Structure 1
Amino acid sequence: MSSSIPAPPGWIVWSLRALATAHLAGVLGQAALAGLFVTGDVDLLTWHRDNAGVTHSVLYLQLVAAILLWRPGRGPLWPAAASLGLVALETVQVALGQWRVIAAHFPLGMTIFGLSAVFTVWTWRSLCGRAA
């Protein structure tokens, strides 16, 4: 007799997918805006700052969805822990940007992009078929 763990509710899975995808799009936007800013379009620094706020807010919503996946959704805990880790990294990233510590801001941004991409791919591949 096998004990099958029920799939998380579809609305939780789809919420996590949508929020992770939106967060990743925001992070990609940050990279594009930073690249355009450093090539001389100084007006884009304001856009970069504003997009950071929106992207960081979406990440908090992703964290809520990941917690819901875990409890009550009976999914794994690690997506919530990973989302919380991204919140911490992005909080440091925002501070580094405000303090103009570019030598750390750029590589941390690349790290956040990579981790966000892996997380987003996981939501679409590993949760495939788990949305009820």
Structure 2
Amino acid sequence: MASPRFLPLLRAAVALQAVAILVQAITAGLLLSSPGGRTLHAASAGVLLLAGLLHLAAAVLVWRPGGGPPRAIAPAAGLLVATLVEMALGMAHLKALHVPVGVLMFGGSVVRLVQVWADRRADATAAV
């Protein structure tokens, strides 16, 4: 069980990352349909990178000073690496790889979000 002190930060970071990935999908649609879409998609990629860094930092805080298990670090690091790969593929204009990696990231973020909130129910059950 993760430390209650840093668990809310982890939940907030995972939620922010999931929203940022959703915004990436929306701005990808704008990229195809409007002239300013490329700028919005690039700006939201920066926000996604920051959200990924926050997610990783929160996972480390839950583990090290919080005394929780290190299991939250691997998914956070995986999503951060996927974000960096995704950014490189986008800058290289490799849409055939960029789009599937983005879809995998969206699925991974939803899975991670469910895992974090499932931990919340386990925490509530343990408290009772």
Q: Same fold (TM over 0.5)?
A: yes
In structure 2, C-alpha distance between the alignment counterparts of 1:113 and 1:86, rounded to whole Å: 10
In structure 2, C-alpha distance between the alignment counterparts of 1:120 and 1:25, rounded to whole Å: 10
Deviates more, 1:71-80 or 1:92-101: 71-80
In structure 1, C-alpha distance between the alignment counterparts of 2:55 and 2:120, rounded to whole Å: 15
Runs of at least 5 residues in structure 2 that lack an aligned partner in the other structure? none
Query: Higher relative CO (CA 8 A, sep ≥ 6), structure 1 or 2?
Result: 1
Larger Rg: 1
% identical aligned pairs: 37
What residue number does 1:8 align with?
A: 3
Q: What SS does structure 2 have at the residue aligned with 1:130?
A: helix
Aligned length: 125
Higher helix share: 2
Q: Which runs of 4+ in 1 moved over 4 A?
A: none
Written as runs of structure 1 = structure 2, the 5 A alignment for 1:1-132 is 8-10=3-5, 12-38=6-32, 40-128=33-121, 130=123
In structure 1, C-alpha distance between the alignment counterparts of 2:112 and 2:69, rounded to whole Å: 13
Runs of at least 5 residues in structure 1 that lack an aligned partner in the other structure? none
Aligned-pair Cα RMSD in Å: 1.8
